[in-house]
Amino acid sequence: MRSINTIGILTSGGDSPGMNAAIRAVTRSAIYSGMKVFGIYRGWEGLINGEIKELTTESVSNTIQRGGTILKTARSDAFRTVEGRNQAYETMQRFGIEALVVIGGNGSLSGAVELAREHDVPVIGLPGTIDNDLYGTDSTIGYDTALNTIVECVDKIRDTATSHDRIFFVEVMGRDAGFLAQNSAIAAGAEAAIIPEDETHIDQLASFIERGIRKSKNSSIVIVSEKDGGAMHYAERVRKEYPQYNVRVSILGHLQRGGTPTAYDRILASRMGVAAIEAFNEGQRNVMIGVKDDKIVYVPIARAVKINRPIDKELINVLSILSI
């Protein structure tokens, strides 16, 4: 098998805390293995436009603790087209980049599958997204930090909710997945979570209200996943259907994506970054690095992006038992 001497690394899609720790790990372990490393700026856009600089061990100094991504990121429409991907491949040839490490979520890794298929480019993916929605890994880089950020915010909202005897609908990110909503609800002791995976969620609101939220409590927190109208939708419903309640909405928004990564995310990103280079050295191609039962695993990228990661029903049960 042909060995790889020069790699490119990019971050794409929504940034997530821990991406810098991953860039640092990939860069340093690639250099340790004798490879040359190019940093590609603004994700796939930068690969198309040739926004590329060589990275040294020093380029990634003092970055492990920083949120965001030092390589910047973008959502690229051009890369969704065959012409865009052809241009990206031309850039790779021009810089002598033989293989890519792509750090990102579902959309970014789907782009990698296309490029690999059309141009036979070896790619290793790292799951970088706060949504935790990639199949084949127990956790994605950034998820733990975002979860902790949400819990910190909800603890604060709880103070004012209790003081005013209010119901708060707190909207969290997650795109089509409810991992952030369900687990932050458990961790913050919320009364309910409304998530896209639970198809009975409309009734869930009614049953939550009807089972008498105020019997023993004077305030309630409901965490709502951003999909399907989010928190506003449910607050409006309560205002119309249960006007006796005092309702407020808090949409946490992009603050969930920022901040210094937790130790868990830094360690996860560091392990995955080193594993990416080991995977190339072992001859692996077109796999995403995942973690299962605390062990590094390789998952074909095409599977990781296609299969919907189910939410464990036990989590739904835990919340409903503990919120009585």
The answer to whether 11 and 72 are in contact (CB under 8 A) is yes
Provide the minimum distance between the beta carbon of 258 and ligand F6P in the complex, in angstroms, as a whole number: 11
> What ranges make up the beta strands (E) of the chain?
6-11, 36-40, 52-55, 99-104, 123-127, 167-172, 192-194, 220-225, 247-251, 287-292, 295-300
Q: Which backbone phi and psi does 255 adopt, to 5 degrees?
A: -60, -20
The residues binding ligand F6P (CB under 6 A) are: 14, 75, 105, 129-131, 173-175, 226, 257
* Radius of gyration (C-alpha) of the chain in whole angstroms: 21
Provide the minimum distance between the beta carbon of 34 and ligand F6P in the complex, in angstroms, as a whole number: 35
Which DSSP string corresponds to 134-185? -TT-S--BTHHHHHHHHHHHHHHHHHHHHHHT-EEEEEE--TT--HHHHHHH
Q: Which two structure tokens, joined as six digits, stand for 213? A: 């939220």
Provide the minimum distance between the beta carbon of 146 and ligand F6P in the complex, in angstroms, as a whole number: 8
Can you tell me the distance from the alpha carbon of 25 to that of 47, in angstroms, rounded to the nearest whole number?
Answer: 21
Can you tell me the distance from the alpha carbon of 129 to that of 278, in angstroms, rounded to the nearest whole number?
Answer: 22
Provide the minimum distance between the beta carbon of 217 and ligand F6P in the complex, in angstroms, as a whole number: 29
Q: At what angle do helices 313-322 and 179-188 cross, to 10 degrees?
A: 30
Q: What does the longest C-alpha to C-alpha distance in the chain come to?
A: 70
Closest CB to ligand F6P among residues 130, 205: 130
Residues marked active site are found at 131
- Map residue 25 onto helix, strand or coil: helix
Closest CB to ligand F6P among residues 113, 173: 173
Provide the minimum distance between the beta carbon of 148 and ligand F6P in the complex, in angstroms, as a whole number: 15
Q: Exposed e or buried b for every residue in 236-263, given b needs 16+ CB within 10 A?
A: ebbeeeeeebebebbebeeebbebebbe
Closest CB to ligand F6P among residues 173, 275: 173
Neighbour count for residue 206 (Cβ, 10 Å)? 13
Closest CA to 139 of 149, 126, 153: 126
Provide the minimum distance between the beta carbon of 227 and ligand F6P in the complex, in angstroms, as a whole number: 8
The answer to whether 257 and 129 are in contact (CB under 8 A) is no
Closest CB to ligand F6P among residues 7, 173: 173
Closest CB to ligand F6P among residues 73, 219: 73
Provide the minimum distance between the beta carbon of 226 and ligand F6P in the complex, in angstroms, as a whole number: 6
The answer to whether 136 and 125 are in contact (CB under 8 A) is no
